[in-house]
Amino acid sequence: MIVIAVLTLSVTAQTDDFGDAAADPVKLFERGQSAHARGELEKALEFYEQAIKVRPEFPEAEFQRGNALVSLSRLDEADAAYRRAITLKKNWALPYSALGALLMRRDRDSDAAAAFQQALSIDPHDNVALRMLSEIRLRGGNPKEALELARRATQGEDAPASAWIGLAVAERANNNTAAARKLLDKLLTDEPNNWTALLERADLLTDDKAYDLAIADLQTAAKLRPSDKVVYARLAFVYQQAGKTDEAAAAAKTAGLELQTNTNGDKTKVIGTQEEIEAANSDDVATSRPAIQKLIEKNPHSAMLIARLAASYRVEDPTRALELFRKAAEMEPTVPDYAVGYAAALVRGRRFTEAIGILRQVLKINPENYSAHTNLGTALYEAKRYAEAVSEFEWVLTSKPEVVVAHYFIATSHDYLGEYPEALAAYQKFLASADPKTNQLEIEKVKLRLPTLQRQIQLGQGVKKKP
């Protein structure tokens, strides 16, 4: 994190001792900032902590202490320092935005967003908060709000290059690729060695299949950071897409990697080490997710990896999963699994109508797709389109008779439709096969319902007015 000077510096050369400044918290703080600027983080931290000892209520020292702790990767302590600075000076935006950046680093986007929003309520022009919140909104599947925030981040005359790159990324997410390309072209005209902008433009060019231009940008980026393996990994990927297999192999070797077939045995090539690929296929999400994220850095256009990452978020963060599945489906629209994954995330987000439309399209192309049928059945059922749901669950039972719970959904669908004899028959089939442990809740519901249902059938009652 960039060191932010919050007090005027008036410092001379220092020794390792606190000297005459030992009782003056401001002088201790200034010495800390001077050491911080020189990259002497441990010494800076020592000065900040001494200043806080002399003056316990010193928010600026707590804030800079947090910055130093982040640079030292002591994140728990940095978190506490930022929160202490906020407690001491509530109407100060900087510690809120710094805390938000730290929370993002720890994969706590929801908490980070709250911190950034607080920062912006204090200072609507806080550039860090605007840029970072834009990134969170992109990851959360809200590209329009992300674009609005990114545009605000570029409004000031002193907007940093990173703000313009963020705007280009947001434009790209909104399918404004021409606008994104124009922004990056202008930035690279002014700053031809901007490493991040080179990578972003290379991604755009790769999407457009302008492989030679993408390769040129990545080669420039590689010269700027010759030891950066991620650049060579991306270069290997683009060479591979361009059909330049020898160059791809050489770039992968420079990165200390190799081209590997993924462990599912298909022909998709993944650039990464065997250890990374094995970790990515772990059943433990704490192991697999960071490994997948590392592989995506090296294979940014791999829809397969993006879909795998989406699956890891399906339960924990459905909004994140939805955005990632959408991205994978857009990258590879002919692969049904990505579209089904996207639709499943829509179902979990209770966006049933959208999910139904996607799943219908999948089944036109691939009518035997089991996951598409199960998700379509669930979406139709939740949308109260019970007659259509019955046909989907009947297909599921034909395909896999052991999926006993499908009988329950068929039975309740008939029940809601007022088709009582059919409902009773389906309930009885469910009870005959249901597992008392796995289906305990459904069994109890059915047993409560059956006496009333049987009386309704005996009385010849008609269609129910409401589900």
Q: Kindly report which listed range (232-236, 287-291, 362-366, 402-406) carries the lowest average pLDDT score.
A: 362-366
pLDDT band at residue 257 using 50, 70 and 90 as cut-offs: low
Between residues 14 and 235, the one the model is more confident about: 235
> Has residue 2 got a pLDDT over 50?
no
In this structure, which CATH number among 2.60.120, 1.10.1450, 1.20.272, 1.25.40 belongs to the domain 389-467?
A: 1.25.40
Q: What is the pLDDT of residue 11?
A: 36
pLDDT band at residue 310 using 50, 70 and 90 as cut-offs: confident
Question: Rounded to an integer, what distance in angstroms lies between the CA atom of residue 268 and that of residue 152?
Answer: 40
Question: Rounded to an integer, what distance in angstroms lies between the CA atom of residue 409 and that of residue 388?
Answer: 12
Q: What is the pLDDT of residue 4?
A: 44
Expressed in percent and rounded to 5, the helix, strand and coil fractions of the chain are 70, 0, 25
pLDDT digit string, tens, across residues 147-189: 999 999 999 778 889 999 999 999 988 889 899 999 999 999 9
Query: What residues contact 151, with CB distance under 8 A and at least 6 apart?
Result: 167, 170
Q: What is the pLDDT of residue 267?
A: 40
Q: What is the pLDDT of residue 334?
A: 60
Most confident of 168-172, 414-418, 449-453: 168-172
What's the fold here for domain 1-90? 1.25.40
Question: Rounded to an integer, what distance in angstroms lies between the CA atom of residue 305 and that of residue 282?
Answer: 14
Are 194 and 161 in contact, with CB atoms under 8 Å apart?
Answer: yes
Are 171 and 183 in contact, with CB atoms under 8 Å apart?
Answer: yes
Question: Rounded to an integer, what distance in angstroms lies between the CA atom of residue 257 and that of residue 333?
Answer: 29
Three-class secondary structure of residue 87 per DSSP: helix
Are 349 and 318 in contact, with CB atoms under 8 Å apart?
Answer: yes
pLDDT digit string, tens, across residues 420-440: 888 888 888 888 887 777 778
Residue 368 CB burial class (10 angstroms; 0-12, 13-18, ≥19): exposed
Question: Rounded to an integer, what distance in angstroms lies between the CA atom of residue 33 and that of residue 41?
Answer: 9
As given in the structure block, the two tokens for residue 258 are: 């190799």
Question: Rounded to an integer, what distance in angstroms lies between the CA atom of residue 33 and that of residue 61?
Answer: 9
Q: What is the pLDDT of residue 129?
A: 93
pLDDT digit string, tens, across residues 53-109: 999 999 999 999 999 999 998 999 999 999 999 999 989 999 999 999 999 888 788
> Has residue 110 got a pLDDT over 90?
no
In the chain, the percentage of residues whose pLDDT exceeds 70 is 85
Q: What is the pTM of this model?
A: 0.57
Q: What is the pLDDT of residue 22?
A: 56
Are 188 and 201 in contact, with CB atoms under 8 Å apart?
Answer: yes
Question: Rounded to an integer, what distance in angstroms lies between the CA atom of residue 467 and that of residue 452?
Answer: 15
Three-class secondary structure of residue 453 per DSSP: helix
Q: What is the DSSP string of 391-411?
A: HHHHHHHHH-TT-THHHHHHH
Residues carrying CATH 1.25.40.10, the chain: 1-90
Place of tokens 């990545």: 218
Please state, as a whole number, how many other Cβ atoms lie within 10 Å of the Cβ of residue 42: 9
